[in-house]
């Protein structure tokens, strides 16, 4: 059980897909203009990455290593299509606001990377947990970015006003340049946080 928790938790901070590994940045900037969009994208990715890890791990012993990448891609594309159809059926508005980025989940480097690095070498359960942890780390990062951008750029959070009434929304945060600059500072922040965790661990004499 402790082993599983370790696999799950590393995706959250230490190997956070967006801030530390710097993979799958495109959606992190494109759909984080509001918290709702960020959450929808995060959940979709979590679903795809954990399901794909599960599938890859189950078939890992039957797949010839030479054709493994096309097989992974087909599996990812199938799962993404399922998510697309589900969202289109149950929440057309969300489907519209995520737009092309939903189809582009197929080519997220993080999903292929987890399949290749982890799921192709491990049993189904740990692989699923690894995918789920990475997905949660991704969702967490999306939520942080989405919340900051919505509060500063629109003065609202989840659609409710949170800033004082004379607050002038900084439009730049909703637009492209603000997203780049904000992520730059968040990456730096995570670097400081990770250094801190490492220092605490070495002080306690644990190996990282």
Task: Give residues in contact with other proteins (CB under 8 A).
Answer: 22-27, 29-30, 69-70, 73-74, 77-78, 80-81, 84-85, 100, 103-104, 106-109, 112, 172, 175-181, 183-185, 187-189, 191-192, 195
Q: How far is the CB of 119 from other proteins (least distance, A)?
A: 17
43 or 172, CB closer to other proteins? 172
Q: Least distance (Å) from other proteins to the CB of residue 149?
A: 13
Cα–Cα nearest to 53, from 151, 126, 153, 137: 126
SS3 195: helix
Residues 6+ apart with CB under 8 A from 137: 11, 12, 13, 15, 16, 17, 18
* 30 vs 63 by CB, closer to other proteins: 30
**Min CB(161)–other proteins separation in Å:** 27
> From the CB of 206, what's the least distance to other proteins, in Å?
23
Which residue lies nearer to other proteins by CB, 59 or 107? 107
Q: C-alpha angle with apex 128: 2 to 188, nearest 5 degrees?
A: 75
Least separation in angstroms between CB 19 and other proteins:
9
Residue number with CB closer to other proteins (125 or 188): 188
Residue 51 Cβ vs other proteins, minimum distance, rounded to whole Å: 15
- Which one, 4 or 77, has the nearer CB to other proteins? 77
The smaller minimum CB distance to other proteins, of residues 1 and 89, is found at 89
Contacts of 150 (CB under 8 A, 6+ apart): 33, 34, 35, 156, 157, 158
d(CA 51, CA 42): 14
The burial of 168, by beta-carbon neighbours within 10 Å (0-12 exposed, 13-18 middle, 19 or more buried), is given as exposed
Cβ-based neighbours of 135, under 8 Å, separated by 6 or more: 11, 42, 45, 46, 47, 48, 49, 50
């Amino acid at each position: 059980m402790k082993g599983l928790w370790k696999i799950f938790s590393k995706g959250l901070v230490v190997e956070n897909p967006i801030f530390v590994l710097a993979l799958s940045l495109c959606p992190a900037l494109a759909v984080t203009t509001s918290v709702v969009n960020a959450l929808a994208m995060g959940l979709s990715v979590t679903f795809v990455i954990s399901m794909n890890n599960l599938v890859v791990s189950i078939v890992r012993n039957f797949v010839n290593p030479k054709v493994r990448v096309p097989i992974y891609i087909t599996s990812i594309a199938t799962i993404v299509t399922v998510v697309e159809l589900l969202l289109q059926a149950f929440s057309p508005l969300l489907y519209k606001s995520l737009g092309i980025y939903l189809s582009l989940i197929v080519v997220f480097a993080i999903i292929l990377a987890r399949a290749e690095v982890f799921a192709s070498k491990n049993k189904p359960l740990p692989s699923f947990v690894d995918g789920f942890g990475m997905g949660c780390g991704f969702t967490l990062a999306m939520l942080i970015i989405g919340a900051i951008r919505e509060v500063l750029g629109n003065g609202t959070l989840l659609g409710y006003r949170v800033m004082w009434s004379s607050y002038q929304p900084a439009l730049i945060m909703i637009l492209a340049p603000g997203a780049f600059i904000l992520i730059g500072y968040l990456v730096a922040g995570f670097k400081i946080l990770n250094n801190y965790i490492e220092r605490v661990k070495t002080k306690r004499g644990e190996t990282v």
